[in-house]
Structure 1
């Protein structure tokens, strides 16, 4: 008798759970899902075929399709230290790389310059690929380069990266040479606004963000940032900055990278890196003239460190950051900015882009409405994309 009762209870429980399981996948597929930042085009330049489902990296076309990602921003990144003298050819090469992939796989992906382009591509079952630039060093101090990149299809530019340039300060700069933004930097923002290119403040210093917001006449984004109140990292936005972005009508793409969203992860990572610092320094000295070989040589040691950090951060941590922003300014100013293929460690359950539906599942668990989930997954970014770049 007890066995029959147990089976009945189990059956009822399974029946009760099944609609929830179906609902989150159905809702995810129904929503427009937009990821505001990935570095996958760098892997493509190095030979990765994104038409094939890979075991390495975080993103390719099959995994984007599995994850229900409708719009993906592909960031063209410039290294401030080593590429500032060849930035325009480097950016052009990365754009060429994405264009060639889109041409080869036109049945699955299309490069989109406006929100209208994106909506048409998505309606035809394709991934809407949007071009971005990460690091304003790419313009080489010449406003005409902004126009050149715009004509090539770039629709947002992250003003800086982990080092300040001559016209904008980085959040990582502890001793900046000037206060946030120069007059030329203000002209950069104005030129982007006039052209219809979205200004991205991720990586920018507090002072730079404040000054950009004073100059900007269009909504801006923080394409891949977290919440400073949850983890006090310079890459994360303070409450005041979050409120200012909301007042501007912009969107904050919450980053997934473990090292920017979890204090526990960061503290343990720092400890482990410290234990192996001498080994890394030795490898760095050994391969001082060849950074590529250094990266290969250090990989086993890096992998062993990150293996010890697995499981500390999960999908819920990302949603904690989303939750915080929603509670502070409402559901209209937050989105997704994974940084897939740009960082070494992702939360459990968001290991690659195929797992994006887990975000929707967690948002349902947290009590979010279908409407608000739709805004967070991509609706908010599409609003800004349409306002700045056209419909």
Structure 2
């Protein structure tokens, strides 16, 4: 069975000492071998620290978390890890459309937050390093765009507009997970390619800064993009498999089944929804999206990948 997951934290978890090759914690290459899988493999070059920002994030998320600083060296280390996995024959890093048919687990390298970039022209370097998905923000505002955690949602800056335009021309997907509402609306108004929200849920079902309201969902849909429903329990009305299904069905039935996918955030979350504790439980979703299994599991995400690739 084909399966695309729009967000997993393989490299970061490896650095935290979790076995992401043969382990059983949420996801691993061993578990992913049960599918013909393609994973948006996160690059999260953030160094944890504790300060007032971490206190604020903890209050927003409902569990203890950290604030971070950003490291180009850490970004290089995480890319090196994915290339190491490829040299071992365990994965194929996506560089071109031909790689999408590789007979092993496929990784589409995905930078979570543009904070590490010095200016928008650094995206040329990302392209050479085979990064094919760019999240504009994580939980902090930056020189390109405002985050969902912003106290002043200013949207895209002029440099952010240039970053989006370059991403479009270079075949790099723009990812609006963690983005503020004005950022979502600004990007949707200028992008020439479909965008994604790699891991986020529905504000109408659960009020949470990480969730999308109907206007934001409509904006993503207008670009012909896709939203990856996620397993972050604090973003679900009910912290269960059914809570996850509720978000899938809301987007599918309200906006069209061609615009919804999965972005589990496995290996990046402390707690999983009841009944959805690892990637194999994707199989349990199928009966709840009967008739739309292929769209949700892989077709929608693959459509956006193909539309962006150059």
Deviation at 1:114, TM superposition (A): 3.1
Other-structure match for 1:373 = 293
Other-structure match for 1:132 = 110
Pick one of 176, 179, 184 that aligns with 1:209. 184
Matched ranges for 1:258-269 at <5 A? 258-262=233-237
SS of the equivalent of 1:164 reads coil
Pick one of 278, 287, 305 that aligns with 1:361. 287
Structure 2: where are the runs of 5+ without partners?
48-66
Deviation at 1:352, TM superposition (A): 1.1
Matched ranges for 1:165-244 at <5 A? 165-176=142-153, 179-244=154-219
Tell me whether 1:116 sits opposite 2:94 in the alignment. Answer: no
Structure 1: where are the runs of 5+ without partners?
1-28, 265-312
Matched ranges for 1:1-391 at <5 A? 29=1, 32-54=2-24, 57-66=25-34, 68=35, 70-79=37-46, 82-84=68-70, 87-104=71-88, 106=89, 108-118=90-100, 120-121=101-102, 124=103, 126-140=104-118, 142-176=119-153, 179-262=154-237, 313-363=239-289, 368-369=290-291, 372-390=292-310
What are the superposed Cα offsets for residues 181-202 of structure 1, whole Å, 9 maximum, x if unpaired? 1101101101111111000011
Contact 1:115 1:382 in 2 (8 A): no
What are the superposed Cα offsets for residues 56-89 of structure 1, whole Å, 9 maximum, x if unpaired? x3221111123x25111111013386433xx322
Contact 1:45 1:97 in 2 (8 A): no
Q: Distance in 2 between matches of 1:317 and 1:261?
A: 6
Other-structure match for 1:275 = none
Q: Distance in 1 between matches of 2:207 and 2:72?
A: 34
Deviation at 1:172, TM superposition (A): 0.9
Q: Name the CA shift for 1:46/1:234 in 2 (closer, same or farther; >3 Å).
A: closer
User: TM-score, structure 1 length as denominator?
Assistant: 0.71
Deviation at 1:340, TM superposition (A): 0.5
Other-structure match for 2:53 = none
User: TM-score, structure 2 length as denominator?
Assistant: 0.89
Deviation at 1:332, TM superposition (A): 0.6
Deviation at 1:330, TM superposition (A): 0.7
Ranges of 4+ aligned residues in structure 1 off by more than 6 Å = none
Deviation at 1:257, TM superposition (A): 1.1
More strand by share: 2
More helix by share: 1
Deviation at 1:166, TM superposition (A): 2.3
Q: Distance in 2 between matches of 1:131 and 1:239?
A: 29
Contact 2:4 2:297 in 1 (8 A): yes
Other-structure match for 2:54 = none
